Each structure stands twice: as structure tokens, then as C-alpha cells.
Amino acid sequence: MNKVLKIIPEQCTGCMRCEMACSYMQTGVYQPSKSVIRVSPFEKHTSYSPYTCFQCEEAWCLAACPVEAITISAVGAKIVIEDQCVGCKLCTIACPYGTIFYDTDTHKAFKCNLCGGEPACAEACPTAAIQWVEAEVQDWQGEFAAQRGNVHLVGFST
Amino acid sequence: MAKKRHVIVGGGTAGLNAITTIREYDKGESEVVLVAGEWPYSRMVLPYFLGRSISETHVFTATSPRMAELGIQYASGDANTVAPAGEMSPLVSRFIPRRATALDTKNNKLTLDDGSIVDYDDLLIATGSSATRPPVPGADGDNIYNLWTLDDAKGVLSHIKDGMDVAMIGAGFISFTILNGVLSHGVKLHIVEIMPQVLPRMVDKDGATLVEDWLTQRGVNIHTNTAVQSIEDIDGRKKLVMGDGTDIIVDLVIMGTGIRTNLGWLEGSGIDIDQGILVDDHLRSNIPNVYAAGDVAQGAELITGSREVHAIEPTAMEHGRIVGANMASRDIAYRGSLLMNILDIIDLNIASFGNWISDSEDTSVLLVTRDHVYRKLIWDGDRITGAIIMGPSRALWTTNDVGMLKGLIQSRVHLGDWKRYLHENLRDIKKPFVASHITRDMLPIKTLDHPTIPSREVTARN
């Protein structure tokens, strides 16, 4: 079984260390805008969840690329080959999860590449909300968000 | 026993995806004949070639070695060496650089432009579209280019120079894909559009107003609601005589006035054609061993199921993969394609999905004119059936939300109470997206019957 990034939103404190570690690993700078794992607040900032590429089997981004600039790495990550990417953004409208991005500085697509098999986000997470483990990929955040969404809607918001 | 012979007519996105998918399944066991007038290349990346950010070699999708990996030999010209009718072919798979001129579906014979005949067991029509020119006097003169083919791009590149005035006639999606590339040459651009707004088939009036303002602020001249009456030569330059009485003098004219599907050669073939070739859920035409894909195919649209010609890259890709699997004797049904487009206009990011042009009153809108930010959702009950999303690329949430918006539409999810939330919080797409279990519903979905693999891996193992 492949290793995957397992997300346990209940353990996330919103400290954003994963975003810092990710951007540093990917680009050499601590810059959350370059992070490909993104932490979002839920229920009026009482809880948080990281969110990143599921490395889905359909690989919508890979199939959509007109120049074969996306391939699959040894650890099963769908990765962008930068030299090959022309920056047409087709992958960003093909991915239904919103986990492949366009970098306005490089004019290329970028996404989670699982750091070549040692994901910096999982290593940086102090509460094990992000784990690099053997598992079947699944919808880690859906139930967590659905519960919090309801609370939000029935009257705790203003 | 003779190998099954698949004939692919057209080497664009649909044709190449079909060939790769055939090879993905049969690992080289069948005979594939590609009939295409030129070496396969990606039209999608021509704007970047025009903008000189990539070289010409980057444009080609099937080079000689790549064809060899797919088990296809280049047959440089003499298609008559293809086995005559009734004989078993002694030949390996081949690429014949010819155009098809006629199809005999009763006897399974394809006629090429040198008169030679290719027999087939099954055939894919993926002949795409050609650019059209308006019937305007002078439209066929010098220094007037379409921008549709690689040769067109080379023509413009040989002529365009820093400081020139360039007119772009037609302000549709195709024109706008090359806008950045044209501007990168340091030219003064004049856009002419016969409709009252730019991008008439990609955004509504409110969206178009933002685009026009964005372009005007960046020095582009926009002339909407007016048509070119004639194009005249004047001192080595081009004079566009306009219907509203103004003249526009330029050095170079680029035509983006529309495309037409290449179906004329099918006259008398017995193939059912409406707007395009009518195809079933396996992308077969009314003739069971003749498929159609890409711009020429009128296939199911994802949301309504009605058959439409999309003429967009993502649909051509999906069509090609589905046809390839079915030609390789799999039984893969096609769910339908979602209409979608994305543009970058001098760092203004614009995407639209589904039925973004709709008379529906049931919409949610966020419009911030000053920031060039626009979001619009089209509702059918508690489901989103179409959307426009626009904003500066540097505003991160613009590009970040594009994919989730696609997921909201593609998954056909019922949003329930989240509809009201989205209506009031149109910037917060992520929360309704995650809470609606779209990931759970989408993860098992596959276009083919196995996980997608890179086409390089397909060729490597053949």
C-alpha cells in the first residue's frame, strides 16, 4: 500500500507550521502563499484543517495537460515538470479539488509533490494532524467540516 | 490472422489521446494508422510559442521517436503502398501525412488526397476545426493572419515587431488566448468586436465590462459593437474601414473571427451530422465502427446530457481517451463533458464553467468593480450548473478557488443549506466545498477503468 498524507483535522490547532515548512521545502522561502498545503479555519476559528492534494487516481491535472508536463513520481505523487509546463492553467480548471495552483512569479503550475517521499508538512506538524502513513486516501475533512458548517448556520454566527 | 486496424483521422488532442489510450490497452497488438496533414502538435501551447516563452520543438506532441514508441512509423508520402482492398496488410502501424477526402462507410474505406485508399476495421474522425475569415473586401491581403495553426503563428512571428500597431479582429476566446503573446512583442493592440462586448461566449456583460476596463487601463484600444467594412492597403500599412465611420491604421492584422468544424469531406458518407457528428455514449456515430471526437463531435454535455459541440481542449482530451478505450474493445461509457474555459489576460484570471450564459434569475453575484473581481453562480435548485470567476491572478484566492468551483459543478452536489451560505459568502467557496463531501464522491470517479497513467509510461512499455 502506498503512503499517503493522512489528515486528522480534529488534531489541528491552526499553527500554520505546515504551510511554513511546505513553502520552505518547495521554494526555499517561508512564504505561505507558495505552500501547497493550506490551513482553513472552521466554525469561527474554533477549529482548523489542513487541505492538500489527495494524489487522486484519476489525476485530472495529468490527463488535462496538453504538453505532458505532469507525471507520477516514485512515491505516487502527481508532479509538475517545470521545464515542460507552459503555464496554460488547464490543470487548474481540470482538478475538481482545487489543489493545483498557478504561480504568478514563475508562470508555471505548482502542486504537492510529497517532497519526494518525506513530506515536510507531516514532519513539521506538532500535533500529528498530518501523518505520512500507509492508508487508503479518503475524504479526510468532509465530516469534520459538515458538522461545523451546521453549527455555523443554526445561529452561532452573527 | 490480420491485426485489427484502427484508422485515426486527425492528429490533434483527440486523435493523439485516442492513439495513446489504444496503446495503453493493447500494448502494441493492433495496427494503428494515423492520417494527418501535418506533424501532431498542441494548438493549446501556440500562444506561448507566439510569446517566445517556448521553442517550436515544445509545440509538437508526437515527434519521430515518440511515434516509434507508440509503434507507428512515418510513411513519407506514398500512401498507395497501403494494402489494397481485400488483401491482408503486410505493413506495421504508420503515420500517413495526408488529408482524408472521402469516407465509404459501407466498404470501410477511407480515401486520401492523393487518391489512395486506406481500409479500416474501425475509424476515428477527429479532424478538428479550421479558422474562418469574414467576407470583407481585403481580408485575404498581405500581412493578415489567422492565429489557428503553427504556420499562422510562424507567419505572425516573422512579421511582428516592437512598436507596431496590431489589430485583432474578433474578441472571442481564441483571440484572447494569444493576447499576452501578441503584447509581449511590445505592440500597440487594437481589438475589434462586432458584438457589444468582448468575450461574448465566455462572460456576461458585467464580466466583459471589467475585462474591457482592465485592458483599457493597460493601453489596449477596444472597439466593440462595430464591424470592419473593408481592409485597404495604405502606404505599406493596413487601413481598417469601420462601420461606425472611424478608421484604424495598423501594420498587422490578426483574424480571430471564428472557427468551422472540418466536416465537408464527409459528404455522402452516411454519417449523421447536426452541428457536429452525432455520437452516442461510447462516442460512436450512427455507423457502429466509426467514432468521432473533439471539435467535430456532438456528444453529451455533463449537466444536461444534451448533445453539444464544445470545441475545447478538455473535451477533446476526454473524447480521445474514451474512444481509444472503446476502439481497444473496452466498454467505456462517457458521462459527458463540462464546458469550461480559462484565460489569463495580462494577469487577470478568468474562468467559466457549465451554463455560465443563462437567463436564470436564480444567481449569486459578487462584483467589485474597482478590484476587477467578479463571481457569479448559476443555480438550479440547490445545485450550481454554471459559474464565472474572475480576478487578478495575484489575488491568490482567485486562482485557488477555480478548481473547487469546478468540483462543485462537476460533482452535481446538492448544497442544501450551503446554498444560502454561498449566496451570502461568495468568497468562501472552500467551506461549502469541503463540507459537502465532494471529495468523498469524486475520489472513486475514473474516466477509464483504471487509474490514469502518464502517456510517457504508455509509450515506454510498448
Res B461: pLDDT: 64
Residue A19 is assigned to a structural domain of this protein = yes
Size of interface A-B (CB pairs under 8 A): 167
Contact of B44 with chain A, judged by CB distance below 8 Å, is answered with yes
Contact of B317 with chain A, judged by CB distance below 8 Å, is answered with yes
B-chain residues near A90 (CB < 8 A) = 44, 313-314, 342
With a CB cutoff of 8 Å and minimum separation 6, the contacts of A20 are A30, A32, A35, A124
The dihedral built from the CA positions of residue B403, B405, B410 and B411, taken in this order, carries a sign that is: positive
Contact predicate B14/B319, CB 8 Å: yes
Residue A143 is assigned to a structural domain of this protein = no
Helix, coil or strand: residue B81: helix
Determine which of B340, B452, B459, B461 to mutate to test the interface with A (most A C-beta atoms within 10 Å). Answer: B452
Of residues B438, B426, B448, B452, the one with CA closest to residue A91: B452
Please tell me the distance from the alpha carbon of residue B129 to that of residue B273, in angstroms, as a whole number.
15
**Which residue of B lies nearest to A93 if distances are taken between CA atoms?**
B403
Of A40, A86, A100, the CB nearest to B430: A40
The dihedral built from the CA positions of residue B285, B289, B294 and B300, taken in this order, carries a sign that is: positive
CATH 3.50.50.60 domain span(s) along chain B = 5-128+262-337, 132-258
DSSP code for B41: B
Q: Are B436 and A90 within 8 A, CB to CB?
A: no
CATH number of B5-128+262-337, picked from 3.40.50.620, 3.30.420.40, 3.30.300.30, 3.50.50.60: 3.50.50.60
Residue A7 is assigned to a structural domain of this protein = yes
Res B394: pLDDT: 86
Does the interface predicted TM-score (ipTM) exceed 0.85?
Answer: yes
Q: Does domain B347-442 have CATH number 3.30.70.260?
A: no
> What parts of chain B have a pLDDT lower than 50?
77-80, 82-91
Res B91: pLDDT: 46
CATH class of the domain comprising B132-258: alpha beta
B-chain residues near A2 (CB < 8 A) = none
Residue type at position A37: I
**Cβ-based burial of B428 (10 A; exposed 0-12, middle 13-18, buried ≥19):** middle
Of residues A95, A144, A100, the one with CA closest to residue B431: A144
String of b and e for B126-148 (b: at least 16 CB within 10 Å)?
A: bbbbebeeeebebbeeebbbbbb
B61, B65, B70, B71 alpha-carbon torsion, rounded to 10°: 140
What pTM value is reported for the model? 0.93
Question: Residue A115 above 80 pLDDT?
Answer: yes
The C-alpha cell that represents B92 in the structure block: 506495421
Please tell me the distance from the alpha carbon of residue B458 to that of residue B69, in angstroms, as a whole number.
9
Contact predicate B249/B237, CB 8 Å: yes
CATH 3.30.390.30 domain span(s) along chain B = 347-442
Residue A146 is assigned to a structural domain of this protein = no
Res B110: pLDDT: 96
Contact of B48 with chain A, judged by CB distance below 8 Å, is answered with yes
B192, B197, B201, B204 alpha-carbon torsion, rounded to 10°: 160
Question: Residue A129 above 90 pLDDT?
Answer: yes
Please tell me the distance from the alpha carbon of residue B260 to that of residue B151, in angstroms, as a whole number.
18
A-chain residues near B446 (CB < 8 A) = 57-58
B-chain residues near A69 (CB < 8 A) = none
Q: Alpha helix (H) ranges present in B137-289?
A: 150-159, 173-177, 179-183, 205-217
Contact predicate B198/B224, CB 8 Å: yes
Q: How many angstroms away from the CA of B84 is the closest CA of chain A?
A: 36
Q: Are A68 and B396 within 8 A, CB to CB?
A: no
Determine which of A35, A51, A139, A151 to mutate to test the interface with B (most B C-beta atoms within 10 Å). Answer: A139
How does residue A151 score in pLDDT terms, banded at 50, 70 and 90? low
Q: Quote the number of domains for chain A.
A: 1
**Which residue of A lies nearest to B412 if distances are taken between CA atoms?**
A96
Query: Rounded mean pLDDT of A77-91?
Result: 96
**Which residue of A lies nearest to B337 if distances are taken between CA atoms?**
A94
A-chain residues near B405 (CB < 8 A) = 98
Long-range contacts: B185-190, Cβ < 8 Å, 24+? B185/B160, B185/B161, B186/B162, B187/B160, B187/B161, B187/B162, B187/B163, B187/B252, B188/B163, B188/B164, B188/B219, B188/B221, B189/B219, B189/B220, B189/B221, B190/B165, B190/B166, B190/B220, B190/B221, B190/B223, B190/B248, B190/B250
Q: Rounded to an integer, what is the distance from CA B288 to the centroid of its chain?
A: 26
Q: Rounded to an integer, what is the distance from CA A29 to the centroid of its chain?
A: 18
Provide the CATH number for the domain around residue A113.
3.30.70.20
Residue ranges making up the domain that contains A71: 3-136
B32, B37, B40, B41 alpha-carbon torsion, rounded to 10°: -160
Residue type at position B178: I
Question: Residue A154 above 70 pLDDT?
Answer: no
How does residue A62 score in pLDDT terms, banded at 50, 70 and 90? very high
| pLDDT tens for each residue of B236-261 | 999 999 998 889 999 999 999 989 99
Q: Are B45 and A101 within 8 A, CB to CB?
A: no
Contact predicate A121/A130, CB 8 Å: yes
Q: Are B437 and A142 within 8 A, CB to CB?
A: yes
Of residues B237, B41, B249, B222, the one with CA closest to residue B148: B41
Residue A116 is assigned to a structural domain of this protein = yes
Half-sphere exposure of B191 (CA within 13 A, CB side): 28
